[in-house]
Chain A
Amino acid sequence: MTLASREQMTAKAPIRRWSMAAEPWLYLSPALVCIVTVLLVPLIIGISYSFWKFSAFKSQFAGLDQYRAMASDTVLHDALVNTLWWTVGSLFFQFFLGLGLALLLNRPFYGRRTVQALVFLPWAVPTFLTGLTWSWLFNPLIGPLPHIFYALGIQSEPVTILASPQTAMWGPIIANIWFGIPFFAITLLAARKSIPSEIYEAASIDGASAWQQFTKVTMPFLAPTIAITVMLRTVWIATFADLIYVMTQGGPAGSTNTIATYIYVSAFKALDKGYASAIAMLLLVLLIIYALLVIQMRRSLLKDA
């Protein structure tokens, strides 16, 4: 009996081993197929597009012409500057206001759960609604903000800030801040809650003031979370076109045109997918450089610490 079963086993073992190895891939295959066909293949095709020129009737190989065209495209240059403004402006306020909110919510108080639900709600509001709502708030006919700004003396007359090239970018940035605070607040609150309270007790026994506790305990503990979330959010905001598209469509006079909206508009409205793809490549390269810089900085910071 033992002998027979042993023979069976040797025959069975390779099949069994093979099926054990194949099992996870079986479960993963729908996800992988989906991602490869709908994301990776288009990505590669998109890269190849950047070497072509498309028009209504024909498409032809253009080599590096599209990339050369970028060099003399003043709209693109303005869009680069706008992208920087948009990203830095949104991120700065999202982060600091989010951090403030996280620290406030970390303290226990009556009604905290309700407050938490209310302040996190903007995160769930669809971006097209965020964009529309804020452009309505800036509208002097039905919105209160121009009148408030006028009363405060910020504006010389109650008009929408979205109409003037000087101020238009603040519209989407404010909407983006509103929408993005919860993200930072939630992630930083989770990180803050993971700091053991004994450390604060030890620090206060050692004589640290509230401010010292914040700079010497809270911030060092939050630093890794901050580094990773800020980096990911930068990439995300830089490529986030919805809000601007809804609120200003890049106008007036291109003053809110970022690279992301420019790609969208060139791909969708203009016919030249080749040029849009070339800009997308530029954006991708810039973001990769940014990510590498951040990783490098983080490494040298860690080395110092």
Chain B
Amino acid sequence: MVGQSRVQRALSKIGFYAAIGAYVLFAIFPIYWTVKISVTPTRLLYTEGIKLWPSAMTMENYSAVLSATDFPRYFLNSLIVSISTSLIVTAIASLAGYALSRFQFRGKAVVSLLLLLTQTFPLVMVIPPIFRIMGSIGLTDNLYGLIVIYTAFNIAFATFLMQSFFDGIPKELEEAAMIDGCTRSTALRRIVLPLTLPGMGATISFVFTAAWSELLFALMLINSESQKTFSVGLLTFIGKFAVDWGQMMAASVMALIPVCIFFAFLQRYLVTGLTAGAVKG
């Protein structure tokens, strides 16, 4: 700023970068530490456990996880659940978001309010009934059950998100297309959908991340080894096999990979996403 002495300016600059550095350190350190332990050979774990970087590196934890445990199975289950959920939710939410964005109709405010309420109400409320209902219709211990529940949980948020993407497309584009010779549905297909594709990608990523992270309902509904998702598998792994730290961390790092990939893509949409789903984690 104008009017400050050079010393003051230098000091405030140092303070600024120190603060930024502290935030980056705080954000990255836990992830860094997990990665570090995952590549530390077991024999060095206790002697060098708290060193910043081990004197030797190994990939054997990763190969052990991939070959000797059920984690590949868990990983696949999680992928199935998360991909199916995100595709179904995005399809349903695109329709609903289009309706809310493009139509004026009686009851619209009520629908929006209903969606908003399901966004804000605590999901722990439905834990007891869902546990019983899912049991009575045979959807426990089954990936379909999870997909159904995750779909319902994420629809409201995804609908608001898609609505905001549709709102961003000027209505005149559709009108111009209709004058140019489109029916409403060809205008939707040739003009609106191509323009919403990035938004749909963002919605898929948000829902994927949410489904990938879910723990409580999966833990409650899944028992058998073959149906476990990654979160459940990792947690039961800890309970069962005392502690093989290296393998656990290697498994964790692997669970982190898909969300990191999506996160890289999501960056641009974080603000839209968080305002649409202000309550979501």
Q: Please list the residues of chain A having a beta carbon within 8 angstroms of any beta carbon in chain B.
A: 21, 23-25, 27-28, 30-32, 34-35, 37-40, 42-43, 45-46, 49, 97, 100-101, 104, 107, 109, 115-130, 132-134, 136-137, 141-144, 147, 178-179, 181-183, 186-187, 189-190, 210, 228-229, 232-233, 235-236, 238-242, 245-246, 260, 263-264, 267-268, 273, 276-277, 280, 283-284, 287
Closest residue of A by beta carbon distance from B126: A42
11 pairs from A and B in contact (CB 8 Å cutoff): A23-B103, A35-B114, A45-B129, A100-B19, A128-B234, A142-B45, A232-B120, A242-B215, A268-B220, A273-B129, A273-B131
The stretch from B62-70, B91-99, B168-176, B195-203 touching chain A is: B91-99
Question: Which A residues are CB-close (under 8 A) to B59?
Answer: none
A183 touching B274 by the CB < 8 A rule?
yes
- By the criterion CB–CB under 8 Å, are A276 and B128 in contact? yes
Shortest distance from the beta carbon of B204 to any chain A beta carbon, whole Å: 14
Interface of A, secondary structure class, is helix
Q: How many residues of B contact A (CB 8 A)?
A: 89
Is B30 on the interface with A (CB-CB < 8 A)? yes
In the complex, which of the residues B26, B266, B271 contacts A124, with contact meaning CB atoms closer than 8 Å?
B266
Is B33 touching A133 in the complex (CB atoms < 8 A)? Answer: yes
The 8 A-B pairs at the shortest CB distance, nearest first, are namely A38-B152, A239-B122, A126-B213, A27-B99, A24-B103, A31-B96, A124-B263, A24-B99
B95, B122, B155, B235 pick with most chain A CB within 10 angstroms? B122
Quick one: which of A31, A46, A118, A124 contacts B129, CB cutoff 8 A?
A: A46
Are A101 and B31 neighbours in the complex by a CB distance under 8 Å?
no
- In the complex, B238 has a CB within 8 A of chain A: yes
Question: How far does the alpha carbon of A117 sit from the alpha carbon of B267 in the complex, in Å?
Answer: 7
> Which chain A residues border B256 with CB–CB below 8 Å?
125-126, 129
Do residues B129 and A142 form an inter-chain contact, with CB atoms below 8 A? no
Contact pattern, B 11-25, Cβ under 8 Å of A = 1, otherwise 0: 000001101100110
Known pairs A31-B93, A37-B152 / 7 extra A-B pairs, C-beta < 8 Å: A39-B121, A46-B129, A118-B27, A125-B31, A133-B33, A137-B33, A246-B235
B contact residues around A284 at 8 Å (CB): 121-122, 125
Docked complex Cα distance between A39 and B27 (Å) = 35
The reply to whether B34 and A45 contact each other, CB–CB distance below 8 Å, is no
Contacts A142-B245, A267-B131, A276-B128 given: A127-B213 contact, CB under 8 Å?
Answer: yes
| Given known A35-B156, A46-B129, contact A104–B20 (CB-CB < 8 A) | yes
Task: Report the minimum CB–CB distance from A87 to chain B (whole Å).
Answer: 12
B151 part of interface (Cβ distance < 8 Å): yes
